[in-house]
Amino acid sequence: MKTCRRCKRECEESEFSRLTVPGGFGPTRKCKACLGELKEQRAGTGPTSRACRTCGEVKPVEEFFMKKSSRDGARVRMRHCKWCHGQKRRRVSKAAIRDLTRSQWAAVVRRFGGRCAYCGGGGRLAMDHAVPLSRGGAHTATNVVPACTACNSRKRDKTAGEYVAWLMATGKAVRSERLILQTALL
């Protein structure tokens, strides 16, 4: 005989589900009847609101962006509300020096031969900041390099030097040493 933690009545071992408990496999502390009731109560009722980690306000879950997916494939909400997320982006872009012109960008692309500064690949090039804006970099000709879309997304918020070191450590294709040094020193 075992006592159910929820309804407090004594039941046979067979009346307890063999679900996973936090410590591993084994019978749960609630009887099957109580587990069924709990499941019905919880069906379709996820959290309707949550607190933003930045502003601390409790807002409806719709006010939070969805992450693409977590490791287990479940979609989860971000910790910061949409307004605070936008404020952070605006703060970063306002703080950065922004004096890059189209002709300067074209000159930078020509300097790298119309190829990615990191892997040397051709194709569509994106403007990449050697020192990311999020880490205090400026939007100037001395801080911008052309990067293929794959390198640009893999680099994330690493500096050019950190990214080149990561490329070398992982054995990925890296552009010539002269251009790597030129990129890493920007």
Q: Is it the case that residue 183 has pLDDT exceeding 60?
A: no
Cβ neighbours of residue 27 closer than 8 Å, sequence gap 6 or more: 2, 13, 16, 17, 18
Integer Cα distance of 171 and 17 in angstroms: 50
Q: Is it the case that residue 184 has pLDDT exceeding 60?
A: no
| Pairwise pLDDT comparison (95 vs 97), residue with the higher score | 97
**Phi and psi based region of residue 86 (left: phi greater than 0; alpha: psi -120 to 50; beta: remaining):** alpha
Comparing 24-38, 96-110, 119-133, 154-168, which segment has the lowest mean pLDDT?
A: 24-38
Whether the pTM exceeds 0.75: the reply is no
What are the phi and psi torsion angles at 31 (to 5°)?
-70, 165
The CA distances from residue 114 to 76, 106, 122, 127, 155, in Å, are 39, 9, 7, 12, 19
Residue 126: the pLDDT is 93
3-state secondary structure of 119: coil
Integer Cα distance of 103 and 124 in angstroms: 18
Express each pLDDT in 130-159 by its tens digit.
888 888 888 888 889 999 999 999 998 898
Integer Cα distance of 151 and 174 in angstroms: 11
What are the phi and psi torsion angles at 98 (to 5°)?
-130, 95
Integer Cα distance of 151 and 158 in angstroms: 11
Express each pLDDT in 10-63 by its tens digit.
888 888 776 655 555 556 777 888 877 777 665 555 667 778 877 778 888 788
Integer Cα distance of 28 and 35 in angstroms: 9
